[in-house]
Amino acid sequence: MRAFFFHPLVQATLWVSLLAGLPLIMPEKPMRHYSDTALRHLALDSGLASVPTTYEGLLKAVDNPDNPMTREKIALGKQLFFDTRLSRDKTLNCASCHILTEGGDDNRPTAIGYHGRANPYHLNSPTVLNAALAKSQFWNGRAKDVEEQAGGPVQAPFEMNMTPAEVEKRLNADAGLRQKFGQVFGDANITFTHVRQAIGAYERTLLTRGAFDAFLDGNDTAISPKAKRGLTLFIDKGCKGCHVGMSVGGQSIQHFPVRRYWAEYIGLILSPDPRLKDSPFPFPNTGGFLGRFGQQDFRVPILRNITRTAPYFHNGNEKKLEEVVRIMSKYQIGDEFTPKQIDEVVAFLKTLEGKIVRY
């Protein structure tokens, strides 16, 4: 159990409230109001950014100097993204868990792979949309980029269940595919490294634009007044401290939860739900995953298209986005949002829905 230290006055207030069985009521600061122009500049100055509309802008945002993007490589990667030969029984492909017409994930609490096998840690599939904008991949950030990530599910026994050697043997038997690899990489011998690089190049094009991008680009009417209030809360309350960048997340590894409360420790002792007694999270720790190095450190999720990627958290334990916003405001920021504030933040998050830009 971690030690918690508060100002003496705060401690006294806490203990009086707890002993009296009363909720702790803190005075709420009035929300600041900005003009559309000021709010836009505030968002941009906070590190948020709109997704580019042109191929040249795409290259500037996501091109990898270790795997330079070309239109031919992207086309080859797209073909492989949908190629079921990358799975042992030839029934699965990358798109099986990353449904591009949805939110770029599979909307399941836990990923299901080869012969119906579930992820042993009950992890769900992070979205592939806008993933190239992130600084690391997977829930624990163990892969540095989408090229490295692309090789993981192919080899996982509970996902596609192949080995690099088996992939190379199977694909090299296709003369037409060998010719395409020769044109793209200058070597007709298909290697697993080149497979990953081609898929990665394609995934780098999967950026989405929506109403929020239009607002950042100067359209004052692109998002509603409620969404603007939600954006103001998102910035002023500190959500943007972790959910930052063009991807609105994915830029850092953060501890979760940052805060726990003494009243909850007391409640857990008396809790009739044994799943919560052993959970370090404010929800059941289904699967037992504890993030990076087992220290409850997780890659910050990408919030673009978050309204279409339920269920939420690493183990899919929460179905409603409103409850996710409440949990994050309470346990990460330390300032639990009111129902009205939650409604406004969700209105902002809906503006992050977008369609894949056809670069």
Q: Which residues contact 196 (CB under 8 A, 6 or more apart)?
A: 147, 148, 150, 151
Q: What percent of the chain has pLDDT over 70?
A: 88
pLDDT in tens, 50-67: 999 999 999 999 999 999
Catalytic residue among 159, 168, 203, 344: 159
Mean pLDDT of the chain: 91
- Is residue 300 within 8 Å of 247, Cβ to Cβ? no
Count of C-beta atoms within a 10 Å radius of residue 23? 8
Give the confidence band of 267 by pLDDT, cuts at 50, 70, 90.
low
Give the confidence band of 19 by pLDDT, cuts at 50, 70, 90.
very low
Residue 2 in this model has a pLDDT that exceeds 60: no
Residue 110, CA distances (Å) to 88, 158, 285 in order: 20, 11, 13
Residue 11: its pLDDT value, please?
53
Residue 21 in this model has a pLDDT that exceeds 80: no
Rounded CA separation 21/196 (Å)? 57
Residue 25 in this model has a pLDDT that exceeds 50: no
Residue 288 in this model has a pLDDT that exceeds 80: yes
- Please give the CATH topology (third level) of the domain spanning 55-203: Cytochrome Bc1 Complex; Chain D, domain 2 (1.10.760)
- Please give the CATH topology (third level) of the domain spanning 30-51+208-356: Cytochrome Bc1 Complex; Chain D, domain 2 (1.10.760)
Read off the pLDDT of each residue in 303-320 and give the average, rounded to a whole number. 97
Residue 137: its pLDDT value, please?
98
Residue 333: its pLDDT value, please?
95
Query: Active site includes 203?
Result: no
Which residues belong to CATH 1.10.760.10 in the chain?
30-51+208-356, 55-203
Read off the pLDDT of each residue in 330-356 and give the average, rounded to a whole number. 97
What pairs with residue 118 in β-bridges? Answer: 112
Angle between helices 146-155 and 192-203 (to 10 degrees): 120
Q: Which amino acid is at 265?
A: Y
Residue 142, CA distances (Å) to 238, 295, 299 in order: 26, 14, 9
Rounded CA separation 292/114 (Å)? 25
Among all chains, which residue has been given the structure tokens 């080995």?
Answer: 163
pLDDT in tens, 229-259: 999 999 999 999 999 999 999 999 999 999 9
